[in-house]
Chains A and B, each alone.
Chain A
Amino acid sequence: MSAVAHGETIAAVSNYIFPNDLHVHWSLMIVLYPYITGLVAGAFIVSSLYHVFHIKALKPVARFSLLFALAFLICATWPLLNHLGRPERAMSMMLTPNPTSAMAGFGYIYSAYFIVLLLEIIFIFRPIVVGLGQKATGFMKALYGVLAIGSDNVSEKALKLDHKIIAFLAAIGIPMACFLHGYVGFIFGGIKANPLWATPLMPLIFLLSACVSGIAGIIVTYILLMKLSGREIDVECVQTLVKFLWGFFILDFTFEMLELFSHFYMATHHWHTLEALYSGPLFNTFWVAQVGIFSVIPFFLLMFMSLIRFKDGLLLFFAPIASIMILVQVLLMRWNVVVGGQLMSKSERGATVFHPMWLEKEGILPAIIIMIAPVVILWIIGKILPFWMDDEGVEVA
């Protein structure tokens, strides 16, 4: 029986793309933007697990993750500014925002989060900064003076107050980190014109993948920096991070699949387009790479590492491998959502293609530079604030 007899409106996908849909507007830069903010939110969650939920095993990375978050947060706006057609007008979003626009909130949420993160770092590092300031000379002495916010009082009473402030900042920091990234998900999830994006699950998926990428990022950099500096790795800390990573990844992966399954099961007319997308242009990057390789393999690796007590050497070998795979998984997820969503034409009849170039304004090279920048910034921060020292000036590891 013919399709028309069944009341189907679209009998064939003849690969017709609306003439204005040939060009993918949100390119690599908009893939990086949620990736970077995700790393920030995730790293902050790691720190909060220690500072608010008192997961003692995470003490070695609790301070480092805050600095990790700061380094990436500094760069979070870079891809956006590089993407804007008129970056010189970027401040209009904060000065004359449109209250109904999801995007207009970013400047405020970003700034508020930046302030909370900076304050928390200042209060946590104050005792160390005071100690370092006494030993330093010249410019560094002045810098430590500024970072100590003009107070060298490290009496027991003063530190008690500091701790209260830290607990408060960390506590409001958690909902803010969740909001920051849930909100980034909503920027996509609120676009009804795009069936791949328009799902209430989008903020949740973005948030969970943020947690996952942040924890994975901390595992990789912690082990790497410890090895490079010849320090001893706290296996208990890595073990705990791995367990949290697995826990968050179970939720993340479940919701990612659930979202797709819901579309498939409900099979509205949107599924027609999505099915063509997942079985066509996104087959390799979604099914093969994101799901098949970079979700399933680390899922089982993390499961084994969480359930079976691995020998230390084995754990420290597999934990970074699983974490790097998770970092790739999240990057692929950002790609598949941001670019994938734009490949479908709103004609519901076809898909365009997107191949980023190396040297264009929003190309691969600028993307690499933007991803290296936070690492360089982290290195500079490390020259000022020691990653692995506690209040008494003793190495925590």
Chain B
Amino acid sequence: MIDIKKEIQKDRRAFIKNVLSGTIAGSLLMVIPAGAALDERLPEQLPGMRGDDSPFTEKKFAFVVDVTACIGCGSCCVADKNEYNVPDGNYRTWVERYVIDDHDEVFVDSPNGGLDGYTEPRKDIPYPVRDTFFVPKLCNMCEKPSCVQVCPVGATYKTEDGFILIDKDRCVGCGYCIQACPYSVRFLNPVSRTAEKCTWCYSRVRQGLLPACVNVCPVHARKFGDLNDKTSEVYKILREPHVISVLKPGMGNQPALHYLGLRREVV
């Protein structure tokens, strides 16, 4: 203790400099090896995310779900639950099954959020089935997010690269965002007692990896990429003359989640 005091008294300015540089160097050491280890383990799935020349504000990420491709296997739900340890009965993502009979009646279900996969056909359809398809749901990452608007403490916020995230250390657990979200993607985590939702795997994306659900989808029904990258698949899909829509466009939230081949029965 006395030694430190002597040290400070000798040259106050030099002491502060030493402390500051030590802190900065220490913090860098904590960050750099982590990145390096990841690079070695997994190849980069999103181009340019690990380079220094890629400030994240230059990215404009979009998510595309191909309704015509989804087979309802539930792999995405399993991957998501494992990645985030989602409590039972709550869903960051889920898959809905639509069945339309030849009397044009629409039947929708999503038992356990589709987590177990749709292995059996629905048996309670009164007339012959005319059409059936699956619709995966997740956070819409709105351009104008209602949840961010209503959060009383700013715990839900939009990052500069367009992701809507939740700071669970700030969230008061009032549930206002859950009421405000038109897509019901939010829930209150019973353990942390704070709001939670899909983040499009922000931590993975920032490290150049695809969201977990995109990564595991066996039929490539979930697609993710940068719209500013003209070689990306999502850019091409949204540029080409496909049938593309967003959910509840009338809400005016302008989702960054797009659906390829979306049917009008889907809400």
Contacts and interface: CB of A to CB of B under 8 A. Distances in A.
A342 B172 CA distance: 20
B45 interface: no
Interface in B43-57: none
B110 interface: yes
Given A85-B193, A347-B267, A101 B152 contact: yes
Given A20-B184, A25-B178, A85-B173, A2 B146 contact: no
Contacts of B71: none
Secondary structure class of chain A's binding surface, majority of residues: loop
B28 to A, nearest CB: 29
Contacts of B181: 193, 346
A267 to B, nearest CB: 15
B118 interface: no
Contacts, number: 147
Given A93-B152, A98-B154, A191 B179 contact: yes
A50 interface: no
Contacts of A155: none
Secondary structure class of chain B's binding surface, majority of residues: loop
A31 to B, nearest CB: 14
Nearest to B250: A269
A101 B152 CA distance: 5
A104 B112 CA distance: 35
Interface string A345-375: 1111100000000000000000000000000
B107 A14 contact: yes
A83 interface: yes
Interface string B230-265: 000000000000000000000110000000000011
A84 to B, nearest CB: 5
B150 interface: yes
A345 to B, nearest CB: 7
Contacts of B179: 25-26, 191, 193-194, 342
- Size class of the contact patch on chain A: 35 or more
Interface stretch (B12-20, B98-106, B209-217): B98-106
Given A3-B104, A86-B173, A90-B172, A20 B187 contact: yes
A103 B176 contact: yes
A76 B247 CA distance: 38
List of 3 A-B pairs having minimum Cβ-Cβ separation, nearest first:
A85-B173, A85-B193, A16-B108
Given A20-B178, A193-B179, 8 more contacts: A16-B108, A85-B175, A86-B171, A97-B154, A98-B151, A101-B151, A192-B251, A346-B182
24 contacts: A14-B106, A14-B107, A19-B90, A20-B185, A21-B184, A23-B188, A25-B188, A26-B175, A83-B174, A85-B171, A86-B194, A89-B171, A92-B170, A92-B172, A96-B170, A101-B149, A101-B152, A106-B152, A191-B179, A192-B251, A342-B179, A346-B182, A346-B184, A347-B267
